[in-house]
Structures are given as C-alpha cells and as structure tokens.
Chains A and B, each alone.
Chain A
C-alpha cells in the first residue's frame, strides 16, 4: 500500500482511459500528457496500460508501506530526478512537490496502482465521479494498492529515458484543419494559424480556454456534434477552447482545427499565461510525428 499524506493540487489516477464509451457521454480520459505517462510506465517496466498518478502543479506526498521501484516523467520538480527509475524503501516518504517546468508530472510505481477497474479502466472520470479509486482526486488518508509487476518486466525497466518533449512555451502545436471548416469564413483558418493565443486560467483536464487579441472569428452555430481530444472549438464571442483528455463528448461550437495526437502532450504541459501558435499539419505528417514518439517508447 501507499498512503497519501497530502493530495496535492489535483492528483489523479490515470491509465489509458475508456476509449469506446464516448457514445454514452463518457470521456475517454487518460493522461493529459500521454507520452510522459507511457515513458514513466516503461521506466519501471510496467505494461503501457498500468495505472499511475498524474500530478498537477503541486504533487502529493506519499508514504510507501513497502519498498517499490518508481519513476517520475513529464513536468520537472525540484525534489526528485525526472526520467530515471529509482527505489523507494519501505516506510519512506516521497514528496513530489511543486512542478517547476511544465504543469503535470507522472509517478509510475512498478506493478501499477491496482485500484478496481470501472467501465474497463482505473482512470478517474471527473464528471462521472467514478474510477480513479475514489471517484475524485487524491486526498490525505487515501490508501493506494500496488499491483503485481509483470513478469518479466518489460526490458527498459530500471533504465533512463533520454528523449524529452519541450516543457515550457511558447508552444508550437501542429493541427489539422477541423471537421467544421464550412462554419467559418474563407480565410478564417489562415488567420487562426497566424494568431498567437494565450492560455487563460480557465484550464483543466477537460479543456483550455485560449485568448487572442485582434482575432475575430464569427462562426455560424452548428448542430450538436461529437468532438475529440485536440479539437479547437470557437465560441460565438470568438474565444477558442482546445479540448484535452477529459473532454466533453459532444459540443455545439464549430471546430476550426484538431491538434494532432503527437502534440497533445504539449497541451498537457502548457500553463496559464503561455503562448500557443498553431501550425497546419497533414494527416501524413501527424502519423509520422506520432510514429516517432511511439518508436522512442519502444526503444
């Protein structure tokens, strides 16, 4: 068991989520930075689907009931080294502390966090208040069971992970033209690509509101339609909302662009006040970018 001594700002249990349940309004969920989460699991020799902790801004403080191999990956903290597996002794405390570069860091424990699966996943479903062990972010007093390590552990277990994605802005993220292009004016997409957006404080795992001074888009309203992670919605007032892992499953605002999955990790690390530029990508470019990250994880 791992005892939670303090929960931190917003620490949740995540695995690869619940893809396939969107038709019932359930978000796929999963880590906001899937790459860092997958790398953390690889470092401790876990299967890619093992549950781990996503720690936002200030991480939790934990006491380990038994010795365990752990790894942190993603946003960088002052207290523990990032990108390398290290042992925590039985009875020892691990204080994650404040994420100083980036926004979210991932703590993987060899064997995974073995809370029960709900609708096929251990990840927290924030809106539904289920999964994630407790149906909510971690709080002091929570007990986290550690699962059995896969035998044999995957080969990279215990190693060091050298491939990194950027952790601080300004961000350039690649996006494909959105499915509701015809709800916009003819040069709106080009103007969108030429605009610097600022991340507002209204940002969480569901989505981030972005602001741009000088850009005025006035899309027509559309009939409610399914939406995806990475979708950039434009509201009637011209504000943009980019959807993250825990996104709503349908929306009534037209989507001008969809951030490619290889760049979702960047969105997961962007902080309020950061600047985001969107650059157009083709489907082929999106697939190449994704394949590159996947190959780093296989090494």
Chain B
C-alpha cells in the first residue's frame, strides 16, 4: 500500500502507512534502498521518516509525473530485515524534566530510569535539526506530553521524551521534549563521514552512566 503525492513542484512524498511500527519503517527503508540503487536521473535526495519517504528532484532533469511513473514501476521489493546490531548509548540520567516524567507516570525517578534503559529502541528518523535522532517505541507508562512551552535552548546530547517517542538532540536548538538525561556520544559532526552517528533502522539501547 503506497500512495504518492506531490509536495510542491520539486518533491514527491511516498506514504507507506500512518503508524509507527518496525514493519512500516522496514518498508520505507527497503524502498529507499531499492530507489538509491536505481538512481533515477534527476533524483536529488531521499528523506525517510517513520512511514513516509520524501524524494526531491530537479525538474530541469526529470518532470514530477515522469519520476512518479518510475517510482510506481519500481517493483515492490521483498521487505528487508533491519540491522540486528544494538548500539549502546551511555546516558547520565539527570535531566531537568525527570521529576515531571516520573510524576506523570506515577513512578519513582529510579523506575523511570530503569524502564527507559530496559527497552530496546529503533531509530525511526533523523530529522527536524541536524542529527536529531527520533527513537521508538517508548513504553506506554513513560509517554509524556511535550512541555507546555518549549525551551529556547536545549543542549546537544540531551535525551528527551515526547509522547511514545524518545530522542536525542544532536545540536543546540529550541525544543519542547521532556529532558531526562544527557549523553556524551557525538551525534552529529559535519566534518565526519557519515556526519550523523545513527541512521533510521538502527537499534539502540540507553545505558545509565
């Protein structure tokens, strides 16, 4: 089930579903890999996130309808297995919103930490700002709404919670997630290749440091 819709005159959005699930993410990443192998002339880039894939193109090289035909013709590939390796991310659980998350969950701070660290997560997107790492699926008990008003500055390495997502800020930016900890892992460095530490489909686990 794929739906292709224009996102302006220089991009097409392919929608694979509307839920956060490992299967849908695998569909997105499988299709992206197949597309990058074919490399249609005029395709500039692909942006995967959760259940959709953006394809940007140069209309001087390929028209939107022509690219759309190529996307439709791409044989639905066999869903790839996501990588099995689990990356460990050391975290100092001392964020300013730990108490807020604990209160919302009705748990002790220690239980919030152990629950957050006991779960294996999947990276669903690198987006919003350079290297910001969206992970899921957060255990329901820890799900906490965003802050009523966002902070003007969140430090790089901050680990946060928003709804059923947990994520990491790679660069200083404004943000409304509940910050529960901090990692020293460098998540983004524009001079490194690849610049981002993680990519969609990676598995990771937070380890209290």
Kindly list chain A residues whose C-beta atoms are within 8 Å of the C-beta of B50: 223-225
**Which residues from chain A contact B46 at a C-beta distance below 8 Å?**
23
Q: Which residue of A lies closest to B60 (CB)?
A: A294
Complex: A20 Cα to B56 Cα, angstroms: 8
| 8 Å CB interface, B15-30 against A | 15, 18-20
Residues of B within 8 A of A (CB-CB), count: 49
Task: Choose among B59, B173, B196 the residue that contacts A24 (Cβ–Cβ < 8 A).
Answer: B196
A229 cross-chain contacts in B, Cβ below 8 A: 8
| Contact in complex: B13, A25 (CB < 8 Å) | no
Which B residues touch A176, using CB under 8 A?
Answer: 6, 8-9
- B residues near A24, Cβ cutoff 8 Å: 126, 130-131, 188, 194-196
Closest Cβ neighbor of A119 among chain B residues: B190
Q: A22 contacts B125, CB within 8 Å? A: no
Closest CB in chain A relative to B106 CB, distance in Å: 25
Interface string of A225-260 (1 = CB under 8 A from B): 111111100000000000000001111000100111
A290 touches B45 (CB 8 A): no
Structural contact, B171 and A128, CB atoms closer than 8 A: yes
C-alpha gap A248/B59 in the complex (Å)? 22
Mark interface residues in B55-91 (1 if CB within 8 Å of A CB, else 0): 0100110011100000000000000000000000000
The reply to whether A25 and B188 form a contact with Cβ atoms under 8 Å apart is yes
**Which residues of chain B in 190-209 are interfacial with respect to chain A, using CB atoms and an 8 Å cutoff?**
190-191, 194-196
**Which chain B residues in 148-166 approach chain A with CB under 8 Å?**
none
A283 partner, pick from B64, B127, B190, B194, beta carbons under 8 A: B64
Determine how close the nearest CB of chain A comes to the CB of B127; give it in whole angstroms: 3
Chain B residues within 8 Å of A261, by CB: 8-10
Question: Does A79 lie at the interface of the complex (its beta carbon under 8 Å from any beta carbon of B)?
Answer: no
- Give the total of A residues in contact with B, Cβ under 8 Å: 44
Tell whether, in the assembled complex, residue A127 and residue B130 are in contact, meaning their CB atoms are under 8 Å apart: yes
Q: Does B142 contact A (CB under 8 A)?
A: no
Q: Within the complex, which residue of A25, A178, A179 is in contact with B126, where a contact is CB–CB below 8 Å? A: A25
* Docked CA distance A223–B128 (Å): 13
Shortest C-beta distance, B13 to chain A (Å), equals 5
Residues of A within 8 A of B131 (CB): 24-25
Q: A223-B18, A226-B13 are in contact. Are A22 and B54 (CB under 8 A)?
A: yes
Kindly list 9 other residue pairs between chains A and B, CB separation below 8 angstroms, not including A25-B126, A128-B190: A22-B47, A22-B127, A23-B48, A127-B173, A129-B171, A176-B9, A231-B7, A248-B129, A290-B9
Q: List 15 A-B contacts (CB under 8 A).
A: A23-B47, A25-B128, A25-B196, A223-B20, A224-B49, A224-B125, A225-B49, A226-B54, A228-B8, A255-B7, A258-B8, A259-B8, A283-B65, A287-B9, A294-B60
Show the binding face of A for B, using Cβ within 8 Å: 19-26, 118-119, 125, 127-131, 176, 178-179, 222-231, 248-251, 255, 258-262, 283, 286-287, 290, 294
